Structure 1
Amino acid sequence: MSDPPTVEARANALGKRLLALLQALLGARHYQRGIDELAAHPSLACLTGHDLDAALAALQRRGFAFQAPGAPAAAAAAAAEVEDPTRRPWSVPSELGDALLRQRRSQERGVFSQLTLRGHLDRMYSDPARASRTSPQRLRELYKVYSRESASVARIERLPDGLRELVGKAVLEFGGILPRGLFEQMETDMPHWNGRRWQMTLEQSLVGTVAPLDLSRYGILHTDESLIVFNEIALAWLRRVAVPSDPDRPHDETAMGIDHISNLSRFLSYLHENDVHFTQRGDIFKTTEKRILQQLIPNPGRELSRDAILAWLGDFARHAGLIDRTGERTLALSARGREWGQKSLLEKLKALLDHALEDRTLGGEHYHHARLRQILLRLLKRVEVGTWYDLMYLPFLARNNYLASLDELHVEQAFSERNQSAHAEPMEDAQRLAWNLVRWMRQRLFLLGIIDLGYDKSGRPVALRLTRTGARLLDAPIDAPLSEPGIGSLVVTPDFEVVLFPSGDDDELVHDLDRFCVRDRQETVLRFRISELSVRRALTSGMYLARLLQTLESHSRTPLPQNVRFSIVEWAHRAGLMTLDSAWLLRTENPELLKRFQQDPGARAYIKEVLDERRIALKARSTPRRMQALLRDLGYLVELA
C-alpha cells in the first residue's frame, strides 16, 4: 500500500477478466458490490455465474478482494431468514482501493487535465504519435499562444450561436463549471443538453469540454456531467466582460474605512473603565451590551448588524488574549490588551485578518475555505487599487485555481478517511464554494476596510474594489499619493472641533484621530471633537502627548489654536501624565500626584530619592521601558522622555 506503482503493476498483471472485475469493484461506493450487482455489471455480462465465482475466488487469493461480513444475527432472526454466505457482498480493501485510484488519477493528471487548457494540451499531446512530432518547447509555445486573452476571447466569439451564449453564461454565473443538473433548471435558448456535440465543438475550439466531473473524493458535492470552460479561457472572458469597472460605477458605494479598528478600541476602553460582568455561559449581559453599542460608531454598513459586529469584536478579543476573566466574573484588559493601542494600524489589521482567515462561523467546510481564502488574498493583491470589479470575479478565480490544484494539494488524502464513513457526505458543491467565499468577503474583508462594496438599485452587492489600506496590508502596488504634498487635510477650530476633508487615503489619520477625539458627524467631511475624556482615553491606551499634538499640527491647514494646545496639555497633566527620562528622573506637573506616588506601596520600592515636589529619582533597575511598563501596570500614565 505504501508503494502505489507496485500495486498498480500487480493489478495490471491480473489478466483481462480479473482486471475487469477489479474495476467494477473500484467503481462502487466503499469499493463494495453484491454478487447480483456484479452479475448485472455491463463489463461482466459475458461471465456465467460459475465464471464470476471463480474470478472472485482468484481475486481473493491474490489479496485484491474479500467477502464482507454478513448481516448481524439479530437482524437476520428478525427477518426470519437464514443468511446465505454466498450472497455476501464483495469488497476491495479500502487502503488498496485508495492506493490504486490515486496512482491511476496521478497518471491521468487528475482534475487539472479536465479544468485547465494546459492540462488538456498535455493530455492531447501525450499520445505517442503526436508526442513524436511535438517537442516540449513547442508545446509550451502553443500554450502561450492559445492562452492569450485576445485569442481566448476570439475563440469563444467564434462558437456557434446558442453554444456561445451558453458558454458566456456559464462563465459569468457559474465561473466556467456548469453541471447538467443546474443547466436543466436554467432558462436558456438551448432545447436540451447535448453533451457529446458540445464536447466535440468546445475541444476542437480549445475552449473547454463536457465530461463527468466527480469531486466527491475531495469532499466537494459534485458528481454530475458538466460543461467546463478551461480556467485560462474563463479568466480571459471574465477580464474582458466583467472587469475593469463593470458595472462602470455602482448605484451606491459603501466604505467601512477603519471603523472596525476604532470600534475595537472603544470596546476595550469601555472594559477598562467599567466593570463588565458576564453570565455563566460567558456572555455579556444584554443591558451591558446595549451600553457598549452606544459607544460604537453608528455606521455598521449593510452586511452585519451592530450586535453581530460586537459579537465578533468580543470573539477576537478573547482569541487574541486582549481580555481576561476575573474571579469576580468580570472582564478585564490583559497585558496584551493594554498594549493594543500602541500598535500601528497595519499591525492591528494584520491581527484581525489572521483571525478572519480562521473564522469557522460563516458556514462551509473549513478545510476548503482556509485554502480558498489564502488564494483569494493572493489574487486580491493583483487587482488595481480603487477600480470596481464584479463581485464574483475574484471568488470564481480563487475557486477555479483551488479546484485545479486539488491533486497537487493532496486534498483527496485528507478526505479519504471521511469518505469511507457511511455518514459523511460532502457539504458544498462547487458553486456554493464561491458563494461562501463571497460571504466571507462581505462580512469580514469589508468589515476590516480591506475592500469597499458597491450596490445596485435594488440594494444587492454587485461590485468590490481594493482600498489603499487593504493594498498596503497585502503588500500590493499603490499609485502616487492622492493628496498634494504640503497641503493639510485638517481644520482645527478654537471650540475644539476637528474637520477632516477626505483625500481618499486618510485611514492612518482617521485611526489617530479616533484615538483622542470623538466623532460628531460623518458626511462629505468628517467632524471630530476633542474632549478631556477622549484625551484621557488616548493617554491610557498608550498614545503619547507629543504624538497627539504632532497629529494635529502636521495635518492642519492652519496653525493649531493656542487655547486648544494649552487645554490638551492641561488635560493630560490633570489625567496624571508623568515622564521618565534616561537618567531615571520621573517628572510631573501635578504635585498631588507625586505625593500619592510616594505613598503607593507598589511604587515605593522603586523610589531612590525625592528631589522636589515635581521630580523623583528612581532606582535604576532593568531598563526605562521596563520601568514604564511596571508603573503603567500600577495605574500611572508614564511616558518615556
Structure 2
Amino acid sequence: VRDTFTFLCFASQYGIRQTQQDSIYKHTQKRLLRRFEVPNDTPKVYDRINPAVENPDRLALILHFCRHQKLIRRQDSDLVCSEAGKEWIQKTDSDKLLDIYTYWLEHSASKDPSVLIAQSIVRILPQEQWVLLASIQEQISKFAVGTTWTQTLYSQLERSLVNHLTYMGGITFAHLGDDVAIRVTDIGQRLLYGEPIESYEFEASFIVQPNHEVLASSYLAPELRWKLNYIAELHQADQMSTYKLSAESIYNGLRSGFSLDEILLFLKAHSKTGIPQNVEVSIKDWAERYGQIYLMDVMLLRCKNAHIAQEIRTSKQIGKYILGEISPTDFVVSRQHSQELLTLLEKQNYMPLPEIITLGTSIS
C-alpha cells in the first residue's frame, strides 16, 4: 500500500517515462525501487524481471493496478498521477489494501488456474501453520493434464502467489533449502475471507534532525507524507522512513509551487521537535537562490543601419515594444507582440523582412 502511494507521489512529482514497449526506463525503475519498502529477506524471484513488460514483478503489479484504477494518466511521454489517484491516497490503508488485493484476485490470479487453486489451499490453512510450497505444488499437480504445466508450476506459484501475497502482507515465508515455507498472516486471513481489516490512527508528526534528515513513521498521515515527498527525498523506507532535506529537494518543492514560507510552516507545524536552527538557515539559503536565474522567451530585433536603429529607439510608438538593448543596433522585443511590431514597422515604411530569421541564417 505504502509503495503504491510512493509510486503515485513519484509520478506526480517527476513523471514516469516509459519505452515504446510500455516498460519503465531502467534508471526510473532503480529510483522507484530505492524508495520502496522491501523485506530484508525475499523470495528468490521477488525482483525478477517480468518478460512481458520488462519491469520487476512487484513494480509491474503496482503499475498495472494504477492503470486499471485510472490512478495514473499519460501526459506527453510520461505517466503522471491523475485526480483519481490523488483522491485514492486519501483512503484508509485498509481500503487501499483491499483494492489492491481485489485487483490481484480478479485480474491476475483469476487468469492462472494453478494460482486460484493454491489460493484456495492457503485460504483453509490455520493461521499459525507453515506449509511448504512444494506441498502445494504436489496437490495442484494432481489436476495437471500435461507435464509442461507441472514443470513450470513451482516457479509460477513462487512468482504469482508467494511474491504478490508477501508484498501485500498476506503471508510470511522462510527459505528451507531449495524450498519455501509460507504462513498466512492475520491480514492475509482477513483478505482471504473477506473480513474487515482493522484501521489504525494516522500520525500527524515527524522529527526533523540537525543533520537535515526527517524521520517519519510509516503511519504518517497521507496528506503529510504527500507534501513531505515534495520537499524532501526519501532515502530509506521502512517502519520508520528516512527523508533528506537538501538543496535539490527544496528546489523540487519550490518549482512544484510551494513557497519558502509554506515549507517552513509545514515543517514547524508537524515536527515534534521543531526545526533545528541550522536546518532552517540551510532551507532559507537554498530557497534564496530560487529564481535568481531565469530564461525569457523573447525575440531579437536587429537593424543593419545604426541611424535606423536610433530612430526606432526614440520612436514613441515603436519604442514601447523594446524590452532591452544588447547593442546600438540590437534590441530585445516581446515574442508575444512581434506581429504587432512587424505591422507597425511596415506602416511606418521601415520595410522589415516579412519572415523571422533563424540563428545562423545569412542575410544578403
Return the structure number with greater strand share.
2
TM-score by length of 1: 0.31
TM-score by length of 2: 0.49
